[in-house]
Amino acid sequence: MNDWHETEIRVRYAETDQMGIVHNSNYLIWFEVGRSEYCRARGFSYKEMEEKENALMVVAESYCRYKSPAYYEDVLTIRTRVEDIRSRSLRFVYEIYRSSDDVLLAEGETLHLVTDENKRVRSFPVSYKEKLMADEIPAANAFPADQAPS
């Protein structure tokens, strides 16, 4: 559907276990980081959609396949994209790579239902759906081509 959005993070000491390997639970947190940054790159935040449209993206399913371990201080790239958008749900897919050697560490997906604040499933707000489906990502802090910053 859309191109991958990439987010870079560095593994913190607190994310590792006694063997110095990243604990498996962190990958789902990193999926959330990738998802949040993907939405920001598309021109909105979860918080904005929740407050303006009373639309929450509730995680209904999550899946992660671990391929290779990550370690303290590794710089990782979280690749995120939307796989499918329906009237009341959407699916994100993820890949996490170690930047130094481009090794795939994990891949996964999350399925989200759109609900209101009372947890009732509702339709995806059209304006946000359009932003997620847009072919081009809006340029952040861009100036018009004929105008220089002051």
Active site residue 146: no
- Cα gap 134→138, rounded to integer Å: 9
Q: What is the pLDDT of residue 135?
A: 72
Q: What is the CA radius of gyration of the chain?
A: 17
Domain 5-127 has CATH 3.10.129.10: yes
Q: Which helix (H) or strand (E) holds 8?
A: strand 5-10
- Please give the model's pTM, rounded to 2 decimal places: 0.87
What pLDDT does residue 138 have? 55
Of 17, 84, 101, 135, the catalytic one is 17
The rounded average pLDDT for each run of 10 residues, N- to C-terminus, in the chain (150 residues) is 89 94 96 97 94 96 98 97 96 98 98 97 95 70 46
